[in-house]
Structure 1
Amino acid sequence: MQNLVKKEFQLFILITLSLLFLSLNSILCKIALVNSFIDPYSFTFFRVLSAFLTLLFLIKFNQNKKLKQNKIDFKSNWLSAFMLFLYAIGFSYSYLSLEAGFGTLLLFTVVQITMLFSSIFFKEKISLNKILGLVLAFIGLIYLLYPSQDFKISYFHLFLMCLSGFAWGVYSVFGKKSKNALFSTYDNFFKAFIFTFIFFIFVSVHSLNISLNGFLLSFISGSITSAIGYVLWYKVLPKITIITASILQLLVPILAILISVIFLDEIFTTNLLVATILVSLGVIISIVKRKTNQNI
């Protein structure tokens, strides 16, 4: 019994840290772009590169012999890496227009939808409380996106964030098969960097803008909130169901909204408040009966 409580507490810590790091990515990206410290492509480039180098450092100095035996396989895992790239590039460009709080809420609601359909495809058992939680969360998103007189948004950037959310959802589903979180994340970022490098052919050189502040923000986003955060997330994923993983990630926008209001002076509108409450209730309802199942 004591060991079970200890394992559940460790899982809670891993989930909390990984969700916090996921939410901070939005804040760091928005700070960099809103202040014109860096352009979206360069932010993505340095974010992915610094994440890869950080993970390479961790693997090189890890004492686990099994890690040292792992080598990147160029014949597999490209789809997972491409999804990571697609998430990162869409994420950066969408924040040229979207606010951090709104963007994160949209991102992880799309993630939830993607992972919901994945759980149905893989025939996971979905309990009634999870269904009710999902419905509440979707109502929150519809309420947030429903056009009003002062509803002004770039639908192109909205599409980019939805694409980013879809990619992250697929990436998370692939993560359930990971047996080595550190190496899997390292392998994904290495190949994602190749895609990021290739994407440069679509970028205008004149649009590039890099400052020291922009580089530092992208470096922190890559080396800490992405590299470490994603390793933690890949450790969590095999221990929970796909549907629970999707629902838990809806806590990310709640954290991002609170941080963005405090540090980015974003307006905490009534619509955002209502949507946040609905999404939060959806998460709570979805996990209250977790003890009835072995897997959350």
Structure 2
Amino acid sequence: MKRAYLKYIFSLLLFGTNGVVASYISLSSYEIVFFRTLIGSLMLVSIFIFSKREVSFKKYKKQTFFAILSGVAMGLSWMFVYEAYKQIGVSIASLVFYCGPIIVMIVSPILFKEKLTLPKILGFITVFCGVLLVNGRISHGGNIKFGLFCGAMAALMYSLMIIFNKQAKDIVGLEISTIQLVAGFVVVAVFIGFKQGFVIDVPASSWIPIFILGLVNTAIGCYLYFSSISDLPVQTVAVCGYLEPLSAVVFSVLILGEVMSLPQIIGAVLIICGAIFAECSDMIFAKNKKIIHVENK
């Protein structure tokens, strides 16, 4: 469990640098997602083949189907959120997109029999308030209705990605990461093919950040992400997932030199405190109950 936590947090930090890396790529959002999934898929497939790992997805056809659905949802989520960024700006799009974990937390007691405790709810509310402060700037440009629709669809696809992934418990590690990323690439490739074809003019200066985004952020990041969330409670994935937008803000300040306002700093603190409280409160309260029980005896 400890190893799964570390892998998950590191993957979120990698994903938090996506915006920084993408800022050096002179392509449209859909083209960036296309190259990201293409390179990441090729790397994971190559590693899987040369490692000569035992193939388990043939034994679990139903779970493989859910893993593919999770990858499809991931690809659609990335496309929707990048289009939302374009239409309504990163701030509002992020607010709508990160309603996805709320959907996951609401349905988790029904689908996964995970108890939705009051401390988790309070921690989650604190985290979401922090995200509101961190992403509090409003963009008035673009098609607002269509942008909000894309953001909402990205949130829905995100929640489906997590839910479907939890249904493939016996397909883990590199194998499930490969299946999901390849499925995501197929979805993006089909969309690109219908939208504009596969002739893409890539500036020479964009190739290095494209490979960093594809190999490091996507291939390694997705491997760490998908191989860890299957071992973590779904509510943990939902709450700690807010570390991704937090790290994105921090990296943009440190690397791109963007100014972080006082409300954003307060929001960052709320995100960290809310996530820690949601994760540790049940354990702390359980220990206190045991202590009280022992003292009563």
TM-score by length of 1: 0.79
Instruction: Give, in whole Å, the separation in 2 of the partners of 1:190 and 1:145.
Output: 31
Aligned residue type for 1:273? I
Is 1:61 matched up with 2:89? no
- Residues 152/193 of structure 1: CA separation in 2 closer, same or farther (3 Å cut): closer
Deviations 1:93-139 (A, max 9, x none): 33336666x47853663232121123133231122211111121233
Q: CA deviation at 1:85?
A: 1.3
Partner in structure 1 of residue 98 of structure 2: 109
Aligned residue type for 1:61? F
State which of 23, 29, 33 in structure 2 corresponds to 1:44: 33
Q: CA deviation at 1:226?
A: 1.4
Partner in structure 2 of residue 17 of structure 1: 10
- Residues 182/103 of structure 1: CA separation in 2 closer, same or farther (3 Å cut): farther
Matches within 5 A, 1:76-87: 76-77=65-66, 78-87=68-77
Partner in structure 1 of residue 110 of structure 2: 121
State which of 130, 135, 139 in structure 2 corresponds to 1:152: 139
Matches within 5 A, 1:209-224: 209-224=201-216
TM-score by length of 2: 0.79
Contact 1:29–1:92 (CA<8 Å) still a contact in 2?
Answer: no
Contact 2:181–2:222 (CA<8 Å) still a contact in 1?
Answer: no
Secondary structure of the equivalent of 1:267? Answer: coil
Deviations 1:74-99 (A, max 9, x none): 99344323201112212333333666
Contact 2:177–2:227 (CA<8 Å) still a contact in 1?
Answer: no
Deviations 1:155-199 (A, max 9, x none): 344543443233223212222234222112211222222222221
Q: CA deviation at 1:251?
A: 1.0
**More deviation, 213-222/82-91:** 213-222
Q: CA deviation at 1:60?
A: 1.0
- Residues 145/55 of structure 1: CA separation in 2 closer, same or farther (3 Å cut): closer
Secondary structure of the equivalent of 1:125? Answer: coil
Partner in structure 2 of residue 3 of structure 1: none
Partner in structure 2 of residue 239 of structure 1: 231
Secondary structure of the equivalent of 2:202? Answer: coil
> Which 5+ residue runs of structure 2 have no aligned equivalent?
287-297
Instruction: Give, in whole Å, the separation in 2 of the partners of 1:72 and 1:223.
Output: 28
- Residues 198/220 of structure 1: CA separation in 2 closer, same or farther (3 Å cut): same
Instruction: Give, in whole Å, the separation in 2 of the partners of 1:174 and 1:44.
Output: 21
**More deviation, 134-143/178-187:** 134-143
Q: How many residues align?
A: 277
Q: CA deviation at 1:29?
A: 2.4
Q: CA deviation at 1:72?
A: 11
Contact 2:121–2:278 (CA<8 Å) still a contact in 1?
Answer: yes
Spell out structure 1 runs of 4+ moving beyond 4 A.
Answer: 68-75, 97-100, 141-146
Deviations 1:59-83 (A, max 9, x none): 011143x138869979934432320
Partner in structure 1 of residue 21 of structure 2: 28
Instruction: Give, in whole Å, the separation in 1 of the partners of 2:259 and 2:34.
Output: 30
Partner in structure 2 of residue 181 of structure 1: 173
Aligned residue type for 2:234? I
**More deviation, 225-234/53-62:** 225-234
Contact 2:135–2:264 (CA<8 Å) still a contact in 1?
Answer: no
Instruction: Give, in whole Å, the separation in 1 of the partners of 2:226 and 2:172.
Output: 8
User: How big is the alpha-carbon RMSD for the aligned residues of Structure 1 and Structure 2?
Assistant: 3.2
Contact 1:87–1:163 (CA<8 Å) still a contact in 2?
Answer: yes
Partner in structure 2 of residue 172 of structure 1: 162
Structure exhibiting the larger radius of gyration computed from Cα positions: 2
Report % sequence identity.
21
Is 1:248 matched up with 2:236? no
Partner in structure 1 of residue 291 of structure 2: none
Partner in structure 1 of residue 184 of structure 2: 192
Aligned residue type for 1:22? F
Partner in structure 2 of residue 4 of structure 1: none
Contact 1:114–1:170 (CA<8 Å) still a contact in 2?
Answer: no
State which of 226, 239, 254 in structure 2 corresponds to 1:262: 254
